[in-house]
């Protein structure tokens, strides 16, 4: 888990509403069309502290820190035991504590969730961390950081580019 829970490998310690699950259909808003959710939106079940720390989900290297409010994001590259690379993406965060090139592990605080004042400013619906695990890193980094969260993928494209974070982490870390 990217949040401080009693057992950071137990998905029962976080809350997700229906629309926050992987591949849930997301309603259109503004210029953004109906789309599939490319990750999971999670918040701490045991306690809700605005501004709580966000941790890396595994060891890796920070390859990007982008700052478009409130879509701030950090991307960490991980090398799996079989030498395959995957990328974890953390969105709706603030006060990044890492920079490109930093090495991180599961105890590294990389940022924090928005606090009550920031939630009032940007919207209460940003009270979570959006976590994606990508199979393929987009080559157009500039486009990724500006628009990727709102790209309207087909269900087949979501399966091509993203892992279901819950299933992926359970298989990887729970033996």
31-68 confidence digits (pLDDT tens): 767 778 888 888 776 556 667 889 999 999 999 888 76
Residue 110: inside a domain, yes or no? Answer: yes
- 39 vs 171 pLDDT, higher one: 39
Domain containing residue 88: CATH number? 2.70.70.10
- 163 vs 4 pLDDT, higher one: 163
Q: What average pLDDT does the chain have?
A: 79
The number of folded domains in the chain is: 1
Residue 146: predicted pLDDT: 44
**SS3 of residue 128 by DSSP:** coil
Question: Which pLDDT band, with edges at 50, 70 and 90, does 76 fall under?
Answer: very high
Residue 35: predicted pLDDT: 79
Question: Which pLDDT band, with edges at 50, 70 and 90, does 102 fall under?
Answer: very high
Residue 137: inside a domain, yes or no? Answer: yes
Q: How far is residue 58's CA from residue 96's CA, in Å, rounded to a whole number?
A: 17
């Amino acid at each position: 888990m990217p949040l401080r829970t009693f057992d950071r490998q137990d998905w029962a310690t976080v809350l997700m509403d229906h629309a926050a699950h992987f591949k849930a259909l997301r309603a259109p808003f503004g210029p953004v069309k109906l789309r599939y959710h490319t990750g999971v939106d999670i918040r701490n079940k045991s306690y809700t502290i605005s501004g709580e720390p966000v941790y890396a989900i595994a060891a890796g290297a920070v390859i990007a820190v982008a700052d478009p409010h409130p879509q701030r994001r950090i991307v960490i590259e991980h090398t799996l035991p079989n030498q395959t690379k995957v990328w974890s993406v953390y969105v709706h965060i603030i006060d990044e504590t890492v920079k490109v090139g930093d090495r991180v592990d599961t105890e590294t605080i990389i940022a924090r969730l928005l606090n009550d004042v920031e939630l009032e400013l940007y919207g209460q619906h940003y009270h979570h961390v959006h976590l994606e695990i990508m199979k393929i890193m987009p080559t157009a980094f500039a486009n990724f950081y500006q628009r990727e969260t709102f790209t309207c993928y087909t269900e087949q494209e979501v399966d091509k580019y993203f892992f279901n974070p819950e299933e992926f982490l359970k298989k990887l870390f729970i033996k």
